[in-house]
Amino acid sequence: MKIAVSADGATLDAQVALRLSTAKYFLIVDIESGEFEAVPSSINRHQRGAGVQTIATVISRGADVIITGYCGPGIVDQLKENGIEMLTGIKGTVKDTLTHYRTAAADQGRALSRENGRNAITHAIKNSARQFASLLPVLLGVVLLIGLFNTFVPNAFLVSVFSGNTVLDSLWGTCFGSVLAGNPMNSYIIGGELLKNGISLFAVTAFIVSWVTVGLVQLPAEMTALGKKFALLRNGLCFVMAIPVAILTVLIVNIAGRWIS
């Protein structure tokens, strides 16, 4: 089993970091063999998604337990939801901490495991409610704008943009989907309402596909993380791919629909 210890240095003689968010390193220690790896921390506590980053960093190294001085309750909850045991309030060197941990591991591990089991359903309900509630405001805004769109935008305008040409309609759908971003559900709702307004399913499908696969808004972040060449090429390929995916989807639906009926 591996343990991640937040630390102020890259050796076992380093002090356990006072806060998870300000740790300079994670020491990933194999508790059986004693071997360890020092991973520099890139977590920024003011940045959105810090919890996911922490979890991802730790799990990608195969650790199941995190030991630290203090950690915000938000991250603790996220770690528990992902089955990571969290031990806080720890002071001293990493080496001493590991010695204490080995001594108490069995009892402590069982206790935490029982607690995680009891709280699993409560956490799932709370987490779902939080996720669901976060969807609603933007969803409401989208629905309100669709009401305005349906009432105030004349069909003649839509017909002038979406001419009925399969490839051109798909291209327009891809362009709109590429510049817009957000939860995919909003693309389904907007797409569904466009369909009711007579826009072709080709255009709507291209719009839905490119909404998630092409991200002009996130392009700078993707370029920074994965490289300029990777980000530009991937987004370009996804843009092009949205058109055949849309055309094939509609053709399959039409053919299968006829076959079923």
Partner 1 sequence: MTRDNTKSSRIASVFNYTFLFPVSAAVIYAVLFFITPDATLLALAGSGKILLNMVTPLVLIFVVMLLINLFVKPARVAKFLGTDSGIRGTILAAVAGIISTGPIYAWYPLLKDLKEKGAGNYTISVFLYNRAVKPFLLPVMIEYFGWLYVMALIVLTFSASILVGCAMAYVQNR
| Residues in 90-129 that interact with partner 1 by CB under 8 A | 120-121, 123-125, 127-128
Give least dist CB 209 to partner 1, A.
7
Write the Ramachandran bin of 182: left for phi over 0, alpha for psi from -120 to 50, otherwise beta: left
Q: State which residue, 98 or 245, has the beta carbon closest to partner 1.
A: 245
Please list every residue from 202 through 261 that binds partner 1, using CB under 8 A.
205, 208-209, 211-213, 215, 218, 221-222, 224-226, 229-230, 233-234, 237-238, 241, 244-245, 248-249, 252-253, 256-257, 260
Q: Which of 34, 147, 164, 198 binds partner 1 (CB under 8 A)?
A: 147
Give least dist CB 88 to partner 1, A.
15
Residues in the chain: 261
Q: State which residue, 111 or 256, has the beta carbon closest to partner 1.
A: 256
CB 238 within 8 A of CB 215: no
Window of 4-12, 27-35, 81-89, 94-102 that interacts with partner 1 by CB under 8 A: 81-89
Q: Which of 34, 141, 164, 198 binds partner 1 (CB under 8 A)?
A: 141
Q: Where are the alpha helices (DSSP H) in the chain?
A: 50-60, 73-81, 94-152, 155-161, 166-179, 184-196, 201-213, 219-226, 228-260
Q: Which of 111, 140, 161, 167 binds partner 1 (CB under 8 A)?
A: 140
Structure tokens of 160? 């002038």
β-strands 36-40, 85-87 pairing? unpaired
- Residue 227's Cβ-side half-sphere holds a number of Cα atoms within 13 Å equal to 4
Q: Which of 1, 104, 111, 138 binds partner 1 (CB under 8 A)?
A: 138
Q: State which residue, 124 or 161, has the beta carbon closest to partner 1.
A: 124
- Distance separating alpha carbons of residues 84 and 261, to the nearest angstrom: 50
Other Cβ atoms less than 10 A from the Cβ of 20: the count is: 26
Q: For residue 248, what are the CA distances in angstroms to 170, 196, 244, 254?
A: 11, 21, 6, 10
Give least dist CB 178 to partner 1, A.
13
Name the helix (H) or strand (E) containing 83.
none
Angle between helices 94-152 and 184-196 (to 10 degrees): 10
153 binds partner 1 (CB under 8 A): no
Q: State which residue, 31 or 212, has the beta carbon closest to partner 1.
A: 212
Q: Which of 15, 22, 77, 188 binds partner 1 (CB under 8 A)?
A: 188
Using CB under 8 A as the binding criterion, the count of chain residues that bind partner 1 stands at 80
Q: State which residue, 44 or 99, has the beta carbon closest to partner 1.
A: 44
